[in-house]
Amino acid sequence: MSSIAPLFDGWDDTLIWSCLQGHMGRAWADDADDPAAAQIITSDFCFLAGDAGIPSAIELVRNIPGDYRRPWMLIASRTDSWHELIEEAYHGKFKKFMRYAIKKEPHVFDKGILLKYIECLPDGYRIKQIDETLYNWTQKEMWARDFCSQFATYADYQRHGLGYAVLHGETPVCGASSYTFYDSGIEIEIATEKAHRRKGLATACAASLILGCLDKRLYPSWDAANLESVALAEKLGYHLDHEYVTYEITGFQQE
Protein backbone atom coordinates (compact mmCIF):
# COMPACT_ATOMS: atom_id res chain seq x y z
CA MET A 1 0.00 0.00 0.00
CA SER A 2 2.83 2.38 0.75
CA SER A 3 4.09 2.06 -2.82
CA ILE A 4 0.79 3.19 -4.38
CA ALA A 5 -0.09 5.82 -1.77
CA PRO A 6 1.75 8.65 -3.64
CA LEU A 7 -0.43 8.01 -6.71
CA PHE A 8 -3.47 8.93 -4.62
CA ASP A 9 -2.00 12.05 -3.03
CA GLY A 10 -4.66 14.74 -2.80
CA TRP A 11 -7.60 12.34 -3.06
CA ASP A 12 -9.92 13.27 -0.22
CA ASP A 13 -11.95 10.06 -0.34
CA THR A 14 -12.23 7.90 2.75
CA LEU A 15 -12.80 4.68 0.77
CA ILE A 16 -9.29 5.15 -0.62
CA TRP A 17 -7.97 5.83 2.87
CA SER A 18 -9.70 2.68 4.16
CA CYS A 19 -7.71 0.61 1.69
CA LEU A 20 -4.38 2.39 2.05
CA GLN A 21 -4.65 2.11 5.83
CA GLY A 22 -5.29 -1.63 5.59
CA HIS A 23 -8.85 -1.71 6.91
CA MET A 24 -11.02 -2.48 3.87
CA GLY A 25 -10.68 -2.95 0.14
CA ARG A 26 -7.98 -4.26 -2.19
CA ALA A 27 -5.48 -2.70 -4.57
CA TRP A 28 -3.68 -3.59 -7.80
CA ALA A 29 -0.84 -1.88 -9.66
CA ASP A 30 1.25 -2.33 -12.77
CA ASP A 31 4.33 -2.91 -10.59
CA ALA A 32 4.46 -3.75 -6.89
CA ASP A 33 7.67 -1.88 -6.11
CA ASP A 34 7.61 1.07 -8.48
CA PRO A 35 4.02 1.54 -9.69
CA ALA A 36 3.05 4.03 -12.36
CA ALA A 37 -0.69 3.31 -12.13
CA ALA A 38 -2.96 1.71 -9.55
CA GLN A 39 -6.50 0.61 -8.86
CA ILE A 40 -8.31 0.49 -5.51
CA ILE A 41 -11.61 -1.32 -5.05
CA THR A 42 -13.45 -0.78 -1.78
CA SER A 43 -16.96 -2.17 -1.65
CA ASP A 44 -18.80 -1.05 -4.83
CA PHE A 45 -16.31 1.69 -5.69
CA CYS A 46 -13.24 1.54 -7.91
CA PHE A 47 -10.64 4.31 -8.05
CA LEU A 48 -7.97 4.65 -10.74
CA ALA A 49 -4.86 6.81 -10.40
CA GLY A 50 -1.46 7.36 -11.95
CA ASP A 51 -0.41 7.30 -15.58
CA ALA A 52 -3.27 6.20 -17.84
CA GLY A 53 -0.89 6.20 -20.78
CA ILE A 54 1.07 3.09 -19.85
CA PRO A 55 0.15 -0.08 -21.80
CA SER A 56 -1.11 -1.94 -18.74
CA ALA A 57 -3.50 0.83 -17.67
CA ILE A 58 -6.34 -0.71 -19.65
CA GLU A 59 -5.80 -3.97 -17.72
CA LEU A 60 -6.38 -2.12 -14.46
CA VAL A 61 -9.56 -0.57 -15.86
CA ARG A 62 -10.84 -4.01 -16.87
CA ASN A 63 -9.80 -5.71 -13.64
CA ILE A 64 -12.85 -6.89 -11.71
CA PRO A 65 -12.13 -9.52 -9.03
CA GLY A 66 -13.62 -12.93 -9.65
CA ASP A 67 -15.37 -12.82 -6.28
CA TYR A 68 -17.05 -9.47 -6.94
CA ARG A 69 -20.77 -10.23 -6.69
CA ARG A 70 -22.73 -7.07 -7.39
CA PRO A 71 -24.12 -6.47 -10.88
CA TRP A 72 -22.72 -2.94 -10.98
CA MET A 73 -19.62 -1.03 -9.97
CA LEU A 74 -18.91 2.68 -9.61
CA ILE A 75 -15.61 3.84 -11.10
CA ALA A 76 -13.99 7.22 -10.52
CA SER A 77 -10.77 8.89 -11.55
CA ARG A 78 -9.49 12.45 -11.73
CA THR A 79 -8.30 12.75 -15.32
CA ASP A 80 -9.85 12.63 -18.76
CA SER A 81 -7.28 10.08 -19.90
CA TRP A 82 -8.64 7.53 -17.41
CA HIS A 83 -12.19 8.46 -18.36
CA GLU A 84 -11.41 7.66 -21.98
CA LEU A 85 -10.07 4.23 -21.01
CA ILE A 86 -13.15 3.51 -18.91
CA GLU A 87 -15.44 4.39 -21.81
CA GLU A 88 -13.34 2.25 -24.15
CA ALA A 89 -13.30 -0.76 -21.83
CA TYR A 90 -17.02 -0.63 -21.03
CA HIS A 91 -18.48 0.72 -24.26
CA GLY A 92 -22.25 0.37 -24.11
CA LYS A 93 -22.10 -0.78 -20.50
CA PHE A 94 -21.70 2.45 -18.56
CA LYS A 95 -23.70 5.40 -17.32
CA LYS A 96 -21.74 8.62 -16.73
CA PHE A 97 -22.93 10.96 -14.01
CA MET A 98 -21.78 13.35 -11.32
CA ARG A 99 -21.27 12.64 -7.63
CA TYR A 100 -20.61 15.38 -5.10
CA ALA A 101 -17.68 15.51 -2.70
CA ILE A 102 -18.48 17.12 0.63
CA LYS A 103 -15.83 19.07 2.55
CA LYS A 104 -14.31 17.43 5.61
CA GLU A 105 -14.61 20.09 8.29
CA PRO A 106 -14.48 18.65 11.82
CA HIS A 107 -15.69 21.77 13.61
CA VAL A 108 -18.72 22.81 11.54
CA PHE A 109 -21.39 20.87 13.43
CA ASP A 110 -23.78 22.65 15.80
CA LYS A 111 -24.79 20.07 18.41
CA GLY A 112 -27.79 22.15 19.48
CA ILE A 113 -29.22 22.19 15.97
CA LEU A 114 -28.58 18.47 15.54
CA LEU A 115 -30.42 17.72 18.79
CA LYS A 116 -33.39 19.81 17.62
CA TYR A 117 -33.62 17.70 14.44
CA ILE A 118 -33.79 14.59 16.60
CA GLU A 119 -36.46 16.15 18.81
CA CYS A 120 -38.57 16.87 15.71
CA LEU A 121 -39.00 13.17 14.95
CA PRO A 122 -42.72 12.63 14.20
CA ASP A 123 -44.99 10.82 16.66
CA GLY A 124 -44.90 7.06 16.25
CA TYR A 125 -41.19 6.96 15.41
CA ARG A 126 -38.16 6.40 17.62
CA ILE A 127 -34.41 6.15 17.09
CA LYS A 128 -32.36 3.19 18.23
CA GLN A 129 -28.67 2.45 17.88
CA ILE A 130 -28.01 -0.50 15.60
CA ASP A 131 -27.48 -3.55 17.78
CA GLU A 132 -27.02 -7.20 16.88
CA THR A 133 -30.73 -7.71 16.16
CA LEU A 134 -30.84 -4.73 13.80
CA TYR A 135 -27.52 -5.75 12.24
CA ASN A 136 -28.99 -9.17 11.37
CA TRP A 137 -32.17 -7.53 10.09
CA THR A 138 -30.25 -5.30 7.66
CA GLN A 139 -28.75 -8.39 6.00
CA LYS A 140 -32.23 -9.47 4.88
CA GLU A 141 -33.60 -6.14 3.61
CA MET A 142 -32.31 -4.92 0.25
CA TRP A 143 -32.97 -1.21 0.89
CA ALA A 144 -31.11 -1.37 4.22
CA ARG A 145 -28.37 -3.86 3.42
CA ASP A 146 -25.55 -1.36 2.93
CA PHE A 147 -25.93 -0.07 6.48
CA CYS A 148 -23.76 -2.98 7.60
CA SER A 149 -22.89 -4.94 4.42
CA GLN A 150 -19.15 -4.24 4.57
CA PHE A 151 -18.84 -5.80 8.02
CA ALA A 152 -18.72 -9.59 7.90
CA THR A 153 -19.99 -10.10 11.46
CA TYR A 154 -21.74 -8.11 14.12
CA ALA A 155 -18.57 -8.26 16.21
CA ASP A 156 -16.71 -6.55 13.36
CA TYR A 157 -19.44 -3.92 13.03
CA GLN A 158 -19.52 -3.37 16.79
CA ARG A 159 -15.74 -2.88 16.82
CA HIS A 160 -15.42 -0.59 13.79
CA GLY A 161 -18.89 0.65 12.85
CA LEU A 162 -21.66 2.80 14.25
CA GLY A 163 -25.23 3.36 13.18
CA TYR A 164 -28.77 4.31 14.12
CA ALA A 165 -32.17 3.25 12.83
CA VAL A 166 -35.57 4.92 12.97
CA LEU A 167 -38.26 2.47 14.03
CA HIS A 168 -41.97 2.80 13.28
CA GLY A 169 -43.45 0.61 15.93
CA GLU A 170 -40.93 -2.22 15.92
CA THR A 171 -40.08 -1.98 12.21
CA PRO A 172 -36.95 -0.15 10.99
CA VAL A 173 -37.87 2.32 8.26
CA CYS A 174 -34.78 4.55 8.05
CA GLY A 175 -31.13 4.27 8.93
CA ALA A 176 -27.82 6.08 9.02
CA SER A 177 -24.76 3.94 9.47
CA SER A 178 -21.10 3.42 8.68
CA TYR A 179 -20.75 2.16 5.12
CA THR A 180 -16.99 1.86 5.64
CA PHE A 181 -14.44 2.99 8.20
CA TYR A 182 -10.90 4.40 8.26
CA ASP A 183 -8.42 5.40 10.96
CA SER A 184 -10.23 8.46 12.22
CA GLY A 185 -13.81 8.11 11.06
CA ILE A 186 -16.55 6.50 9.01
CA GLU A 187 -18.24 7.00 5.64
CA ILE A 188 -21.98 7.54 6.10
CA GLU A 189 -24.69 5.49 4.39
CA ILE A 190 -28.28 6.76 4.65
CA ALA A 191 -31.54 5.31 3.34
CA THR A 192 -35.26 5.53 4.09
CA GLU A 193 -37.92 3.00 3.17
CA LYS A 194 -40.02 4.55 0.40
CA ALA A 195 -43.33 4.76 2.27
CA HIS A 196 -41.75 6.79 5.10
CA ARG A 197 -39.88 9.46 3.17
CA ARG A 198 -40.39 13.24 3.43
CA LYS A 199 -40.96 13.11 7.19
CA GLY A 200 -37.57 14.26 8.43
CA LEU A 201 -36.52 10.76 9.41
CA ALA A 202 -33.21 10.83 7.53
CA THR A 203 -32.37 14.22 9.04
CA ALA A 204 -33.01 13.00 12.59
CA CYS A 205 -31.21 9.69 12.04
CA ALA A 206 -28.18 11.33 10.42
CA ALA A 207 -28.06 13.88 13.25
CA SER A 208 -27.94 10.98 15.73
CA LEU A 209 -25.08 9.37 13.84
CA ILE A 210 -23.09 12.61 13.60
CA LEU A 211 -23.47 13.20 17.34
CA GLY A 212 -22.52 9.58 18.03
CA CYS A 213 -19.38 9.99 15.93
CA LEU A 214 -18.44 13.23 17.65
CA ASP A 215 -18.79 11.54 21.05
CA LYS A 216 -16.36 8.85 19.87
CA ARG A 217 -14.03 11.41 18.25
CA LEU A 218 -14.70 9.97 14.81
CA TYR A 219 -15.29 12.06 11.71
CA PRO A 220 -18.63 11.37 9.95
CA SER A 221 -17.60 11.69 6.30
CA TRP A 222 -20.29 12.31 3.67
CA ASP A 223 -20.12 11.80 -0.11
CA ALA A 224 -23.30 12.63 -1.99
CA ALA A 225 -24.76 10.57 -4.83
CA ASN A 226 -27.16 13.33 -5.89
CA LEU A 227 -28.21 16.91 -5.18
CA GLU A 228 -30.88 15.76 -2.72
CA SER A 229 -28.12 14.21 -0.64
CA VAL A 230 -26.11 17.43 -0.92
CA ALA A 231 -29.09 19.40 0.40
CA LEU A 232 -29.46 17.07 3.39
CA ALA A 233 -25.75 17.28 4.12
CA GLU A 234 -25.83 21.08 4.04
CA LYS A 235 -28.86 21.11 6.35
CA LEU A 236 -26.79 19.15 8.86
CA GLY A 237 -23.84 21.56 8.65
CA TYR A 238 -21.66 20.20 5.86
CA HIS A 239 -20.51 22.21 2.82
CA LEU A 240 -20.17 21.13 -0.79
CA ASP A 241 -16.61 20.83 -2.07
CA HIS A 242 -16.83 19.83 -5.74
CA GLU A 243 -18.55 17.51 -8.18
CA TYR A 244 -16.71 14.67 -9.88
CA VAL A 245 -17.28 12.32 -12.80
CA THR A 246 -18.39 8.80 -11.92
CA TYR A 247 -19.18 5.80 -14.10
CA GLU A 248 -21.69 3.13 -13.19
CA ILE A 249 -20.79 0.03 -15.15
CA THR A 250 -22.96 -3.03 -15.67
CA GLY A 251 -22.93 -6.12 -17.84
CA PHE A 252 -19.42 -7.16 -16.82
CA GLN A 253 -20.40 -10.36 -15.00
CA GLN A 254 -17.76 -13.00 -15.43
CA GLU A 255 -18.68 -16.34 -16.94
CATH number of the domain to which 98 belongs:
3.40.630.110
134 and 202 inside one domain:
yes
Domain annotation covers residue 255: no
**Where in the sequence is the domain holding 59, given as residue range(s)?**
5-102+245-250
pLDDT band at 253 (very low <50, low <70, confident <90, very high): low
Whether the CB-CB separation of 36 and 51 falls below 8 Å is answered with yes
Domain annotation covers residue 76: yes
Strand ranges across the sheet with 171-182? 125-129, 163-168, 171-182, 185-192, 219-221
Domain annotation covers residue 56: yes
Identify the pLDDT of residue 250: 95
Alpha-carbon Rg for the chain, nearest whole angstrom, is 19
Whether the CB-CB separation of 120 and 31 falls below 8 Å is answered with no
Q: How far is Cα 185 from Cα 12, in angstroms, rounded to an integer? A: 13
138 and 78 inside one domain:
no
Q: Quick one: what percent of the chain has pLDDT higher than 90?
A: 98
pTM for this entry: 0.95
145 and 214 inside one domain:
yes
Identify the pLDDT of residue 207: 98
95 and 135 inside one domain:
no
Task: Report the length, in residues, of the chain.
Answer: 255
Rounded mean pLDDT, 218-245: 98
Rounded mean pLDDT, 90-104: 97
76 and 141 inside one domain:
no
Rounded mean pLDDT, 126-153: 96
Domain annotation covers residue 193: yes
213 and 122 inside one domain:
yes
215 and 127 inside one domain:
yes
How far lies 156's CA from each of 46, 151, 161, 180, 222, in Å?
23, 6, 8, 11, 22
54 and 82 inside one domain:
yes
In this predicted structure, the answer to whether residue 255 has a pLDDT above a threshold of 70 is no
Model confidence pLDDT, tens digit, residues 140-172: 999 999 999 999 999 999 999 999 999 999 999
46 and 158 inside one domain:
no
117 and 207 inside one domain:
yes
Please state the φ and ψ torsions of residue 225, each to the nearest 5 degrees. Answer: -85, -20
Sign of CA dihedral 69, 8, 85, 97: positive
62 and 125 inside one domain:
no
In this predicted structure, the answer to whether residue 254 has a pLDDT above a threshold of 70 is no
In this predicted structure, the answer to whether residue 128 has a pLDDT above a threshold of 60 is yes
Domain annotation covers residue 143: yes
117 and 98 inside one domain:
no
In this predicted structure, the answer to whether residue 106 has a pLDDT above a threshold of 80 is yes
Q: What is the DSSP string of 46-64?
A: EEEEE-TTSTTHHHHHH--
Across the chain, mean pLDDT equals 96
Rounded mean pLDDT, 119-130: 97
Please state the φ and ψ torsions of residue 29, each to the nearest 5 degrees. Answer: -150, 165
Domain count, the chain: 2
CATH number of the domain to which 122 belongs:
3.40.630.30
In this predicted structure, the answer to whether residue 25 has a pLDDT above a threshold of 70 is yes
Q: How far is Cα 107 from Cα 169, in angstroms, rounded to an integer? A: 35
Q: Are strands 72-77 and 45-50 parallel, antiparallel or unpaired?
A: parallel
Q: Quick one: what percent of the chain has pLDDT higher than 70?
A: 99
